[in-house]
Amino acid sequence: MMKNKIIFLAGFMGAGKSTIGPILANTIGWDFYDLDLLIEERSGKKVRQIFEQDGEENSEKLNLRCCLRYRKK
């Protein structure tokens, strides 16, 4: 039996994660989740706002929490 596998693409804003992610997912037949969009839906704020208002450290903690949550899906 094959266990669920997941790939996280990490990089700076504007690096192309949201562009290459769906292409990669489609190529290998996996689902794609854009973490920025998931965070924005959950928080009601744009990722850039979170970064500017809450600071880089809190923004990164939020990213990590969301990654950990979605790795279980």
pLDDT tier for residue 3 given thresholds of 50, 70 and 90: low
pLDDT tens, residue by residue, 17-54: 999 999 999 999 998 989 889 889 888 999 889 889 98
**What is the Cα–Cα distance from 35 to 60, expressed in whole angstroms?**
12
Q: Please name the residue ranges forming H helices in 1-73.
A: 17-28, 35-43, 47-70
Q: What's the chain's length in residues?
A: 73
